[in-house]
Amino acid sequence: MILLLIGFGIKIAVFPFHTWLPDVYLAAPSSVSAFMSGIVTVTGLYAMIQAFFVLSYAIDIHSIWVISILSVVNTFFSNITVLLQDDLKRMLAYSSIAHIGYMLIGVSIWTVSSLTASIIHLFNHAFMKSVAFFCAGAITYQLGSGNLNEMYGLGRKMPLAASALIISLLSLIGMPL
């Protein structure tokens, strides 16, 4: 189980194996970042859930507390770190790490309802984070920079991209509708 956690932890960017994700999202074109946040990282979490489900007869389910500790540390660390960012894509990357922590909380509870909630959140995250990265790409292309300090008046300059970004970010924080 420990080796599976390490392998999947690297794939889905769980603390302390998360260091590659913000750098890759920042360096990659926005379309690649959207693909990675919407498909690659999320399929790693889904594969982890499937692997633990298939192997649940062989592993001690009571040792799943390790996942709950990792999820809480992951969530707190990345939510604090996201506040310190000044680049839009790096901020979205740390937000993805936090959302992986939210999904891992459901996995650590290991009930049908919690696993269902994690998978539903997985699909919401995949779609809305992809939209957010596409909007970040459009904004970065238009403004020439992804620095948050230079985005003053973005709603007037790019109303459609700013509206889509706001809708995707509100969806990621759990706003209804």
pLDDT digits (tens, 9 = 90+) for 69-108: 889 999 999 999 989 988 888 898 888 889 989 999 988 8
Q: In this model, does residue 1 exceed pLDDT 80?
A: no
* Residue 17 DSSP code: S
Q: In this model, does residue 62 exceed pLDDT 70?
A: no
pLDDT of residue 170: 92
Of the candidates 110, 135, 114, the residue with the CA atom closest to the CA atom of residue 37: 135
Within 13 A of 141's CA, how many CA atoms are on the CB side?
10
Mean pLDDT of 22-35: 85
Mean pLDDT of 54-75: 80
Which stretches of 83-109 are DSSP H helices?
Answer: 88-109
User: Tens digit of pLDDT for each residue in 116-172?
Assistant: 998 899 898 899 989 999 998 898 888 888 888 888 888 888 999 989 999 999 998
Q: How far is CA 68 from CA 20, 58, 72, 134, 159, in A?
A: 22, 20, 6, 32, 40
Mean pLDDT is lowest, of 5-14, 53-62, 145-154, for 53-62
pLDDT of residue 72: 92
pTM for this entry: 0.86
Q: In this model, does residue 61 exceed pLDDT 70?
A: no
Answer for the pair 113, 79: CB distance below 8 angstroms, yes or no. Answer: no
